[in-house]
Structure 1
Amino acid sequence: MSDEAAPGHVRVRMDLSYDGTAFSGWAKQAGGRRTVQGEIEDALRTVTRSGDTTYELTVAGRTDAGVHARGQVAHVDLPRQLWAEHREKLLKRLAGRLSKDVRVWSLTEAPEGFNARFSAIWRRYAYRVTDDPGGVDPLLRNHVLWHDWPLDVDAMNEAARRLLGEHDFAAYCKRREGATTIRTLQELRLSRGADGVVTATVRADAFCHNMVRSLIGALLFVGDGHRGPDWPGKVLAAGVRDSAVHVVRPHGLTLEEVGYPADELLAARNKEARNKRSLPGAGCC
């Protein structure tokens, strides 16, 4: 995965959003399942009249089935001539071709060294849940989880503060062979809106699989009184999956924004992001 477009090509940054309800996640899959990547690549191939040629997207954060995105970022490398021919009308043509649950908002030439995945310095998610005894507003049912116990947001925030910083989040991640679970959790806070919906804001340099939904599952156990505020931190320190930590349902989760450094820092960030991380003082083996 190069940090530069091939000769004769232009790297194009794509800002987009989607309602994940009817998608089997971001990444293309075998078997004809509907995915965000597959749908956009198909639309791009059609509107640029590229025949059998597919221009593959690289995304900032792969989302699971049912997860939404308001501020997703991807890049695609297009032949320079094709970009010059279509750039002025490409956005509108994509809008006419794509389904209504996915939108591309901007297409811009990326700065030198830009990589949608490796250049990112943080991703910010929001998870929304309501404890209203009546349930979820029907207009929000695909975006808000219903938790049928009253939630103490202050207790949840107390527990959340103990999880901030750089840690091995193995206890909150689904392990993948050869991948590290060390992450820096930069922000984790919860607030209750005037409508009673509790929004958890979660920001980190990167996330491992199921990390956000597992963290929220642990915090909900604190909020409803089943566990004390120190429990999520103890689970983190133990470093192993706890059967009491539930991975909450995906529909409450939205990727809100992806952050990137200044253009002159892109190359350094790409290199840093590719390095396998270890915690200070950890052994090499």
Structure 2
Amino acid sequence: MTRYALALEYDGRAFSGWQVQPDRVTVQSVLERALAQMAGQPVRVHAAGRTDAGVHASRQIVHFDTDAKRTLTAWVRGVNSFLPEGVGVLWAREVPDHFHSRFVATARHYRYLLLNHPVRPALWAGRVGWSHHPLDLDALRAAVPHLLGQHDFSSFRAAECQAKTPVKTLSRLDVHAEGTLLYFDFSADAFLHHMVRNLMGALLHIAKGNRPPEWMAELVAARDRTIAPPTFMPDGLYLAGVSYPSEYGLATEPEPRHGLI
């Protein structure tokens, strides 16, 4: 039995999230079906993170076990030939038996793309978030330090979140503007369900002038989801990379910004 790691990219609009669900098309279900066709036997995959419906990935990492003997090229090009449009394998690597895409990960990286423009996007619809309000980026950036470090992020946690603890360490939150397109880069040891989208909702609430930057510290301290702004749209959210110890030789951090991702 050999264990392989794969990197995937996908457009979340076509799927009901990552995880297999009855009578729903999900990324996991179509990938397992494609791998089974290539392997000639059932294959179960495990992902670094479960993305919701409408959320994309430019670097999702998964692993699976099989005793089928195939080349690494077959696990990429061959599997892609069985996958629908909107999802594809980027690379395949053989990894040790103790590798686990979720449990040995040291950090996850998400990127949120936001179009700040008076009219809604058409060509980029579903690929970027959108705000037509003028945004004060200086105020938004002033709120960021209140989020960095280890905190109880209960104010940004979905009610259905199954994480054992709401305490996470947010090590990076960078905001970069290229014209009307804004890039928000988040890195943490792990994320709660809807955490990035809930953080985006609060950051934009401040950027619109509804609250001062210091209000973010109050939200964190309150540990109360009911007083925070609504969850922001999934459209511009991408799982952009997953970090692992160097022993595995997997370069999976986000690539430099280019185009939409």
Give the TM-score, by structure 2 length: 0.90
Any idea what SS the aligned residue of 1:203 has? strand
Q: 1:26: which partner in 2?
A: 18
Structure 2: distance between partners of 1:257 and 1:88: 22
CA contact (8 A) 2:39 2:66 kept: no
Q: Is the 8 A contact 2:155 2:228 kept in 1?
A: no
Structure-2 residue corresponding to 1:114: 99
**SS of alignment partner, residue 142 of structure 1:** coil
Whether 1:94 aligns to 2:79 is yes
Q: Which amino acid aligns with 2:100?
A: N
Question: Which residue type is aligned with residue 214 of structure 1?
Answer: N
Q: Secondary structure at the residue paired with 1:126?
A: strand
Instruction: Find the aligned partners of 1:117 and 1:98 in 2 and give their Cα distance.
Output: 23
In 2, the alpha carbon distance for the partners of 1:41 and 1:55 equals: 6
| Paired residues of 2:73 and 2:92 also in contact (CA < 8 A) | no
RMSD in angstroms over aligned alpha carbons?
Answer: 1.9
Q: 1:250 to 1:178 in 2, by over 3 A?
A: closer
Number of residue equivalences: 249
Alignment deviations for residues 208-254 of structure 1 (CA, whole Å, 9 cap, x no partner) = 10100000000000001011101122111011113441100111101
Task: Indicate conservation of the 8 Å contact 1:153/1:192, yes or no.
Answer: no
**85 and 185 in structure 1: CA distance in 2 versus 1, 3 angstrom threshold:** closer
Measure the CA separation in 1 of the matches of 2:74 and 2:163.
43
State which of 162, 174, 178 in structure 1 corresponds to 2:158: 174
Gaps of 5+ in 2: 250-261
| Structure 1, 59-68 or 177-186: larger mean CA deviation | 177-186
Within-5 A mapping of 1:194-205: 194=179, 196-205=180-189
Distance in 2 between the 1:212 and 1:253 partners?
8
**Aligned residue runs from structure 1 range 150-189, under 5 A:** 150-175=134-159, 176=161, 179-189=164-174
Residue 45 of structure 1 corresponds to: 36
Q: Return the index of the structure with the highest Cα Rg.
A: 1
**Structure 1: 5+ residue runs without aligned partners?**
1-8, 266-285
Query: Which digits, 9 at most, give the CA deviation of each residue in 1:20-44, with x for residues without a partner?
Result: 01110000012x1010000000111
Match of 1:135 among 109, 116, 120: 120
Q: Check whether the contact 2:95–2:248 (CA below 8 A) recurs between aligned residues.
A: no
Match of 2:3? Answer: 11
| Residue aligned with 1:76, SS | strand
| Deviates further, 168-177 or 115-124 | 168-177
Structure-1 separation of matches of 2:104 and 2:181 = 33
Shift of 1:145: 1.5
- The match for 1:74 is 62
Contact 2:169 2:190 in 1 (8 A): yes
Q: TM-score, normalised by structure 1?
A: 0.83
**1:94: Cα distance to partner?**
1.1
